[in-house]
């Protein structure tokens, strides 16, 4: 039996991931690049799904899979025009949300792991070439 603590538990569990998701969507609502990608009538749902996804990824409850099935991030986001600018903006807003949480709650080593993961996700979700790209 493993007694290793998950990152989810180490950073405060559900409360912390709720704060990350809420902080992110608070910014997205006003954002000129990401805001239009979201339906106005589903902000709460989007926030809840992000929290579920992040919590599950970092060792928390498997609510995302139970409610939505396997994450399949690229497939789920393909309908949205995610170019490099959108990926960069997503990453910027996620980092702002993460940085609003103090180092006592999310110690620097965990914060670094989370940022690294966010950078990989942002790059992976790009599904549209930049304007002017040959073949675009």
User: Could you read off the pLDDT of 29-70 as tens digits, one per residue?
Assistant: 999 999 999 888 999 999 999 999 999 999 999 998 776 666
Asked if residue 45 is part of any domain, the answer here is yes
3-state secondary structure 84-122: HHHHHHHHHHHHHHHHCCCCCCCCHHHHHHHHHHHHHHH
Of 103, 111, 105, 97, nearest to 22 (Cα)?
97
Asked if residue 26 is part of any domain, the answer here is yes
pTM, two decimals, is: 0.86
Asked if residue 131 is part of any domain, the answer here is no
> pLDDT at position 66, please?
78
Where residue 90 sits, what CATH number does that domain have? 1.10.490.10
Asked if residue 136 is part of any domain, the answer here is no
Of 128, 125, 103, nearest to 114 (Cα)?
103
**Residue 84 in tokens:** 């490099």
Range of the structural domain that residue 19 is part of: 9-124
Please count the structural domains in the chain: 1
Asked if residue 21 is part of any domain, the answer here is yes
The answer to whether 98 and 106 are in contact (CB under 8 A) is yes
Asked if residue 101 is part of any domain, the answer here is yes
Asked if residue 114 is part of any domain, the answer here is yes
Asked if residue 36 is part of any domain, the answer here is yes
> pLDDT at position 51, please?
97
């Amino acid at each position: 039996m493993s007694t290793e603590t998950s990152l989810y538990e180490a950073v405060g569990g559900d409360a912390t991931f709720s704060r990350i998701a809420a902080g992110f969507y608070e910014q997205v609502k006003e954002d000129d690049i990401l805001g239009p990608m979201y339906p106005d009538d589903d902000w709460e749902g989007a926030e809840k799904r992000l929290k579920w996804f992040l919590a599950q990824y970092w060792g928390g409850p498997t609510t995302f899979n139970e409610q939505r099935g396997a994450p399949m991030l690229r497939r789920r986001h393909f309908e949205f025009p995610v170019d490099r600018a959108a990926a960069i903006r997503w990453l910027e807003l996620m980092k702002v949300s993460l940085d609003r949480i103090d180092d006592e709650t999310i110690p620097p080593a965990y914060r670094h792991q989370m940022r690294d993961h966010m950078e990989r996700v942002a790059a992976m979700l790009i599904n549209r070439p930049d304007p002017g790209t040959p073949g675009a």
